[in-house]
C-alpha cells in the first residue's frame, strides 16, 4: 500500500545526500559486510594543512571501505565534501589510488572486486597543489587499470558535485551515476566567472548552473549513465545493478570521434541553451523516458 498524499514520496524517502561520507559508503554494501580501512583512529592525516593554519581531519576527508555488494567483493571510496570541499590532497588522493590498485591486485588474483567512488569534490586541494595533481593523475591511471577487470562506478550525489581534475576521473569510470542535486563540470561556476566575467557565467544564478552542470542535464545529454532520486535504497539498488552488469560495451572516454563530431557540428554563431543541447545530444534512453 503506498501513501497517496502529495509529497509523500519526498517525505518518506531516506535521503542519501544528508548522509556523511562514512554513512554513504556503508549504505551501499550488503548489510553487515563492510569494514573501514585506514580509518580516523589510524590517524593518517595531511602533514601540510596544519602548517597553513587549517585543522586536519583524521581520515583526510577520504573514507575507504571494503565489503560485498550484490554478494561480490567491492571497495567503496567516499570523499567527504564537508572537509575542505572534498578536495584531493596527498593523503586522501593516496588512499583512493591505493584502494583502487589493491582492488586491481585482487582481480588479478582471481577475486572479482569492483569499486564505487563517491565524489563530492572541487578537485585538487589548493594547499597541497602539485601533490594533489599527482594524486589525481595516479587515480586516473588506477581507474583505467581496474576498469579492465571489474566495473568502476562513480556516484556523485551532491550537493558539492564533482569538479576539476576529478571530473576527468569521473569520465573515465565504467559508469557514472548522478542525482538531480549533483553537478558535474571541469571548471566550477565561480572559476568561469572569475576568468571570463559574469556575462559568460553568473555563478550566483543557481538555476543556470544546475541547468548546465546538473545531473538531469548531464544524463539527458549522455554524459551520465543513470539519473537516480536522492533516496538511499534506490541508489543502492542502482549501484548493485551496475556491479552485476560488468563492463560497458564502449567506454565513454573511448568515444573521441563521437564527441569531436558533436563539437564540430555545433553552430557557435547562435547561443545554445541547455534545452537546445538536449535536442541535439539526447540519448535514446532519455528520449524514451520523457516522451
Rank residues 52 and 261 by Cβ distance to another protein and give the closer one. Answer: 52
Neighbours of 147 (CB within 10 A): 23
- Can residue 54 be called a binding residue for another protein (CB under 8 A)? yes
| C-beta of residue 141 within 8 angstroms of C-beta of residue 120 | no
Q: Point out which span in 80-88, 95-103, 122-130, 206-214 binds another protein (CB under 8 A).
A: 80-88
Q: What is the C-alpha separation between 76 and 14, in angstroms, rounded?
A: 20
Nearest to 165 by CA among 128, 122, 223, 111: 122
- Can residue 58 be called a binding residue for another protein (CB under 8 A)? yes
Which of 26, 38, 56, 193: binder of another protein (CB under 8 A)? Answer: 56
Rank residues 50 and 195 by Cβ distance to another protein and give the closer one. Answer: 50
φ and ψ of 129, to 5 deg: 25, -105
Rank residues 120 and 225 by Cβ distance to another protein and give the closer one. Answer: 120
Rank residues 83 and 175 by Cβ distance to another protein and give the closer one. Answer: 83
Rank residues 45 and 225 by Cβ distance to another protein and give the closer one. Answer: 45
CB within 8 A of 280, min separation 6: which ones?
A: 262, 266
Neighbours of 283 (CB within 10 A): 16
Which of 83, 201, 210, 219: binder of another protein (CB under 8 A)? Answer: 83
What separation in angstroms does the CA of 95 have from each of 16, 41, 75, 101, 215?
23, 15, 12, 10, 27
> How many chain residues bind another protein (CB under 8 A)?
15
Give least dist CB 81 to another protein, A: 9
Stretch 2-41 residues interacting with another protein (CB under 8 A): 20, 39-41
- Can residue 126 be called a binding residue for another protein (CB under 8 A)? no
Per-residue DSSP letters for 199-261?
TT--TT-HHHHHHHHBHHHHHHTTSSSEE--S-HHHHHHHHHHHHHH-S-SS-GGG-HHHHHH
Burial class (CB in 10 A: 0-12, 13-18, 19+), 282: middle
- Can residue 82 be called a binding residue for another protein (CB under 8 A)? yes
What separation in angstroms does the CA of 9 have from each of 1, 13, 83, 149?
13, 6, 31, 38
Rank residues 19 and 208 by Cβ distance to another protein and give the closer one. Answer: 19
Give least dist CB 97 to another protein, A: 22
- Can residue 159 be called a binding residue for another protein (CB under 8 A)? no
Which of 7, 53, 110, 249: binder of another protein (CB under 8 A)? Answer: 53
- Can residue 231 be called a binding residue for another protein (CB under 8 A)? no
Q: Point out which span in 77-85, 167-175, 192-200, 217-225 binds another protein (CB under 8 A).
A: 77-85
Give least dist CB 1 to another protein, A: 33
Q: What is the C-alpha separation between 199 and 31, in angstroms, rounded?
A: 49
φ and ψ of 93, to 5 deg: -65, -40
Per CB under 8 A, residues contacting another protein are 20, 39-41, 50, 53-58, 80, 82-84
Amino acid at each position: 500500500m503506498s501513501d497517496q498524499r502529495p509529497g509523500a514520496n519526498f517525505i518518506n524517502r531516506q535521503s542519501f545526500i544528508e548522509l556523511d561520507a562514512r554513512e554513504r559508503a556503508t549504505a551501499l554494501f550488503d548489510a553487515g559486510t563492510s569494514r573501514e580501512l585506514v580509518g580516523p583512529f589510524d590517524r593518517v592525516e595531511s602533514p601540510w594543512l596544519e602548517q597553513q593554519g587549517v585543522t586536519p581531519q583524521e581520515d583526510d576527508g577520504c573514507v575507504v571501505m571494503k565489503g560485498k555488494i550484490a554478494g561480490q567483493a567491492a571497495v567503496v571510496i567516499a570523499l567527504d565534501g564537508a572537509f575542505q570541499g572534498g578536495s584531493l590532497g596527498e593523503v586522501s588522493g593516496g588512499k583512493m589510488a591505493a584502494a583502487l590498485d589493491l582492488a586491481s591486485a585482487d582481480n588479478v588474483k582471481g577475486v572479482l572486486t569492483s569499486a564505487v567512488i563517491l565524489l563530492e569534490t572541487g578537485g585538487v586541494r589548493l594547499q597541497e597543489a602539485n601533490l594533489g595533481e599527482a594524486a589525481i593523475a595516479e587515480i586516473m591511471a588506477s581507474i583505467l587499470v581496474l576498469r579492465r577487470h571489474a566495473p568502476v562506478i562513480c556516484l556523485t550525489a551532491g550537493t558539492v558535485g564533482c569538479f576539476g581534475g576529478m571530473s576527468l576521473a569521473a569520465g573515465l569510470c565504467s559508469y557514472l551515476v548522478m542525482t538531480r542535486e549533483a553537478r558535474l563540470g571541469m571548471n566550477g561556476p565561480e572559476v568561469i566567472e572569475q576568468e571570463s566575467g559574469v556575462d559568460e557565467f553568473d555563478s550566483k544564478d543557481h538555476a543556470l548552473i544546475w541547468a548546465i552542470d546538473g545531473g538531469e542535464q548531464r544524463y539527458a545529454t549522455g554524459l551520465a549513465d543513470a539519473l537516480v532520486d536522492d533516496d538511499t535504497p534506490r541508489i543502492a539498488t542502482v549501484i548493485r545493478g551496475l556491479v552485476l552488469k560488468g563492463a560497458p560495451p564502449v567506454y565513454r572516454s573511448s568515444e573521441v570521434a563521437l564527441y569531436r563530431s558533436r563539437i564540430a557540428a555545433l553552430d557557435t554563431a547562435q547561443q545554445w541553451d541547455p534545452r537546445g543541447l538536449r535536442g541535439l545530444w539526447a540519448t535514446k534512453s532519455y528520449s524514451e523516458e520523457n516522451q
